[in-house]
Amino acid sequence: MNNEETISSFDFSILCEDASNEDLFEDQTHQRISDNLHNLIDKSPKGITIGLEGSWGSGKSTVINLLKDKLNSSPRDNRLFFMFDAWAHDGDPLRMDFLRVIN
């Protein structure tokens, strides 16, 4: 047996994990969800908290980006958009990190 290793060459596709700022699906599902969330926020007389749940890669961040763009282009001045990624703070004291980020 030879001590040399044989390395085979494979073609790999690298997937980008960055969320999109546009809905690339034909039925515009992500856009419709963000539009409905925008309408909910606009009609709410008080501040609200919205949570999105879904599996990895289901488009949660894309919906958030679409919503953020729409909210930032709206004329309402007294609105604050804040996003807290709990996964980014996994293992940290969540409440303390949350308060530190909004401060």
Provide the domain count of the chain: 1
Is residue 5 situated within a structural domain? no
Residue 74 contacts residue 42 (beta carbons within 8 Å): yes
94 inside domain: yes
Q: Are 33 and 63 in contact (CB under 8 A)?
A: yes
Q: What is the pLDDT of residue 102?
A: 79
Domain assignment present for residue 15? The answer is no
Condensed to tens digits (0 to 9), the pLDDT of residues 56-83 reads: 888 898 999 999 999 888 777 677 777 7
pTM of the model: 0.66
Is 42 inside any structural domain?
A: yes
pLDDT computed for residue 63 by the predictor: 93
Report if residue 10 sits inside a domain. no
CB neighbourhood size of 63 (10 A): 24
Structural domain containing residue 37: 29-102
In a domain, 50, yes or no: yes
**Which of 28, 8, 17, 13 has the alpha carbon at shortest distance from 61?**
17
> Does any domain span residue 8?
no
For residue 87, the SS3 value is: helix
pLDDT band, residue 34 (cuts 50/70/90): very high
Q: Is residue 12 part of a domain?
A: no
How far apart, in whole angstroms, are the C-alpha atoms of residue 87 and residue 93?
Answer: 12
